[in-house]
Amino acid sequence: MNSFDRSAAGIAQVFRGTFVHSTQQTALEILEDALLGVDTEGKIAFIGKGEELDKLLKSTNFNPSEVIQLSQHEFFMPGMVDTHIHASQYSYAGTALDMPLLQWLNTYTFPVESQFKDLDFANRVYSKVVKRTLRNGTTTACYFATIHTDASLLLGKIANDFGQRALVGKVCMDRNNFVKHYKETMQESQDETCRFIAELLKKKYPLVKPVVTPRFAPSCTGALLGQLGAIAKNNNLHIQSHVSENTEEVKLVKELFPDSESYTDVYYKHNLLTDKTVMAHGCHLSDEELALFRETGASLSHCPNSNISLCSGVLNVRNVLKQKVKLGLGTDVAGGYSASMLDAVRKALDSSKILTIQDPEHDTLTFEEAFMLATLGGSQALSLDDQIGNFEVGKDFDALRVNVAAPGGPIDLIQSEGPKILLEKFLNLGDDRNIMEVFVAGRKVIPFTEPTA
């Protein structure tokens, strides 16, 4: 454990109980009867042992009656990181899963996304998706919005107002032969992206930042991709897109970009693969492409629900990890029908087991590894692991207070269980009823204190 390290800021909260998290060395570390202090800036000031309480109180002047004690069936875990979610698709989540990717986009997605020029509609959808993901324990979300700058700025405001940490992207696309009214010219996309970035940064939201967002190579000309790569570099911004989701898409990219060696090479040639890039899916990447991810520091977002729901493919997570490519989990609403990262954990395990059924030699993911991918892995994929992802002194306190025995919850406990079993049960059986409190940068955001009507 970390020794006491009193922050220059005052101590705002002290919690005592079980904490579970991942470290660079192990997928699951369990800290029983631990003390964790949060300072007035929302950062973890110290982590120590419960037996050191008296020593702690002398060094911090914190009142012992104010120490918050977790119950027998409770634990704290890091907030979950959704590395890929389309906020604009939330209105039809749970439907429209009867087509493969390209047909699905043209039939359902583009017509719905074109509605976001209506700010009232955008406000309704974005308010609901931010509240729902927070309730589900997503403390950090990497959002795709739409091509509409003002609606995308509204998503940033809503995330800020509810206290969620977010990367928000105005979608860029200057090529769309199927829904012709839902696209931009290259100049419009470039100008509006610059306006979006400037206006969002001007807001100085502490936890909400812009991310450069070419939708994916088939919907962007090479000229636009190059401009977006330059914009990201000049502003030192994150980049998000899609890569190798299904085989039809991979074939289309080869036809559209015949001079590129691979789908990944398209992004590489346009300076869109950096250590702040996250690409969704990657089901059909070659080892050579994964090597390019590793060399550039770019990461993948594994979206198993969507991969299965749209029959896109099954990502071999074990091989990605073996190639030392950064990897997080994503819900990919609405290609993925659930906005819960717990679902992403479960589907990641199911997908790995499918590969084991096909090849008994395959090394199946463990629940501890899936837990790591949903927390620390996600923070690494978004290059935010210096701020969030686990319980280390100096990091922001992004955390879920979980009660596995929550009254009216989905889990029945038959006998006394240790914290490892409680975590496993929560990951496999739990839902928002088990998430009693959610903290982002030390601020309690669940239960909501703002009006939720």
3-state DSSP call for residue 222? helix
Class of domain 80-382: alpha beta
Residue 374 to residue 79: CA distance in whole angstroms: 9
pLDDT (tens digit per residue) in 100-146: 999 999 999 999 999 999 999 999 999 999 999 999 999 999 999 99
CB 229 within 8 A of CB 264: no
Q: What is the domain partition of the chain in residue ranges?
A: 11-78+391-446, 80-382
pLDDT (tens digit per residue) in 263-282: 999 999 999 999 999 999 99
CB 410 within 8 A of CB 430: yes
Return the CATH fold of 11-78+391-446. Urease, subunit C; domain 1 (2.30.40)
Give the DSSP H/E element, type plus range, for residue 281: strand 277-281
192-231 in b/e burial notation, b at 16+ Cβ within 10 A? Answer: bbeebbeebeeeebebbbbbbbbbbbbbbbeebbbbbbeb
pTM > 0.75: yes
- Higher pLDDT pick, 420 / 451: 420
CB 283 within 8 A of CB 303: no
What is the reported pLDDT for 355? 98
Is it the case that residue 5 has pLDDT exceeding 80? no
Instruction: Output the CA–CA distances (angstroms, integers) from residue 320 to 247, 278, 361, in the order listed.
Output: 18, 14, 16
* φ and ψ of 90, to 5 deg: -65, -30
pLDDT (tens digit per residue) in 364-393: 999 999 999 999 999 999 999 999 999 999
pLDDT (tens digit per residue) in 327-337: 999 999 999 99
